[in-house]
């Protein structure tokens, strides 16, 4: 068997995982875990788009995290090769949030991305929230739930008391969004998605409610998960214990400050 994954096989594996025509899907991926794919990241993007078809929507994080200026056309995302391929795809729409932008390709891309800079990265009304609560799916390829940003949407729905603590005190709380033609927007935030190192805690309850389908893409394990279930289960966990999704690393600024506050 060839070490290079042929494109047709990729298409079949995505379908076997449960991805279907018309699906709206948010994709987190480590292509290194998948192994070599014929055609590279562009072929992975093309396969995803072919499976969901023209009525579907493929969205990926193009997060930039701590940049003082953001140009949706020029500023590269820091969340992987597939996301960059989707960002460059003909017809792709990138949301204007300076730290937590997404790239969307397909039906309803512009509506999904609209106004992202006006809300916190994963707050209600953000693309991730719209996708998850509107029946979309989350696809994890070669990554676990520590990469599942939709869990942060659940933190906002649960209105946990630590959303004002930034991931790193040195990170900016505002940025300039460059709109081209010399136009720009100044935006600032007082609530943030934070640390995700403890997000694996949600997987057991998602499995218990049957919200996860497992499969394999190339050499990587993959999960296809109901976005709505992710948000709902995060809220259940956080209402029972507001520290449930905080990590225990004493060096983590966000989580250690949040724990201090909860213990008071």
Taking the complex as a whole, how short is the minimal distance between the CB of residue 247 and Zn ion, in angstroms?
3
Helix, strand or coil for residue 223?
strand
Run of H or E including 61: strand 57-61
Strand order in the sheet with 137-141: 93-94, 102-106, 57-61, 24-29, 137-141, 220-226, 212-217
Taking the complex as a whole, how short is the minimal distance between the CB of residue 255 and Zn ion, in angstroms?
3
If binding is defined by CB under 5 A, does position 165 make contact with Zn ion?
no
Taking the complex as a whole, how short is the minimal distance between the CB of residue 197 and Zn ion, in angstroms?
5
Instruction: Give the nearer residue to Zn ion in terms of CB position, either 11 or 253.
Output: 253
How is the chain split among helix, strand and coil, in percent rounded to 5? 35, 20, 45
If binding is defined by CB under 5 A, does position 160 make contact with Zn ion?
no
Instruction: Give the nearer residue to Zn ion in terms of CB position, either 202 or 247.
Output: 247
* Residues 113-152 as x/- pattern, contact with Zn ion by CB under 5 A: ----------------------------------------
Stretch that binds Zn ion, among 82-90, 130-138, 193-201, 210-218 (CB under 5 A): 193-201
Number of residues that bind Zn ion (CB under 5 A): 4
Taking the complex as a whole, how short is the minimal distance between the CB of residue 200 and Zn ion, in angstroms?
12
d(CA 239, CA 170): 30
Strands 93-94, 183-188: pairing kind = unpaired
> Which residue from 151, 201, 252, 258 is in contact with Zn ion, where contact means CB under 5 A?
252
Strand order in the sheet with 174-180: 69-70, 174-180, 183-188
If binding is defined by CB under 5 A, does position 247 make contact with Zn ion?
yes
Stretch that binds Zn ion, among 9-17, 149-157, 225-233, 253-261 (CB under 5 A): 253-261
Instruction: Give the nearer residue to Zn ion in terms of CB position, either 92 or 252.
Output: 252
Query: b/e string for 219-242 if b means 16 or more Cβ within 10 A?
Result: ebebbbbbbbbbbbbbbebbeeeb
Helix, strand or coil for residue 232?
helix
E strand map for 96-252:
102-106, 137-141, 174-180, 183-188, 212-217, 220-226
> Which residue from 59, 123, 195, 229 is in contact with Zn ion, where contact means CB under 5 A?
195
Taking the complex as a whole, how short is the minimal distance between the CB of residue 248 and Zn ion, in angstroms?
8
Instruction: Give the nearer residue to Zn ion in terms of CB position, either 123 or 252.
Output: 252
Interacting residue ranges for Zn ion, rule: CB under 5 A: 195, 247, 252, 255
């Amino acid at each position: 068997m060839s070490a290079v994954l042929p494109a047709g096989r990729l298409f079949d594996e995505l379908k076997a995982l449960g991805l279907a025509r018309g699906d709206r899907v948010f994709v987190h991926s480590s292509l290194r875990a998948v192994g070599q794919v014929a055609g590279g990241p562009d072929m992975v993007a093309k396969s995803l788009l072919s499976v969901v078809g023209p009525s579907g929507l493929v969205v990926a994080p193009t997060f930039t995290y701590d940049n003082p200026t953001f140009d949706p056309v020029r500023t590269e995302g820091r969340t992987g090769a597939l996301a960059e391929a989707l960002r460059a795809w003909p017809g792709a729409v990138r949301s204007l949030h300076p730290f937590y932008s997404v790239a969307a390709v397909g039906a309803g891309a512009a509506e999904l991305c609209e106004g992202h800079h006006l809300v916190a990265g994963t707050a209600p009304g953000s693309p991730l929230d719209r996708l998850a609560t509107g029946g979309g799916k989350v696809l994890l390829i070669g990554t676990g739930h520590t990469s599942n940003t939709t869990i942060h949407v659940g933190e906002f729905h649960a209105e946990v008391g630590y959303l004002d603590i930034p991931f790193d005190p040195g990170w900016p709380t505002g940025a300039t969004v460059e709109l081209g033609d010399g136009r720009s927007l100044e935006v600032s935030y007082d609530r943030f998605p934070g640390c995700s190192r403890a997000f694996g805690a949600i997987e057991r309850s998602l499995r218990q409610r049957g919200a996860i389908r497992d499969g394999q893409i190339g050499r990587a394990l993959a999960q296809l998960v109901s976005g709505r279930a992710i948000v709902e289960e995060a809220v259940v966990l956080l209402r029972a214990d507001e520290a449930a999704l905080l990590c225990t690393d004493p060096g983590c600024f966000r989580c250690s400050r949040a724990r201090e506050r909860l213990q008071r």
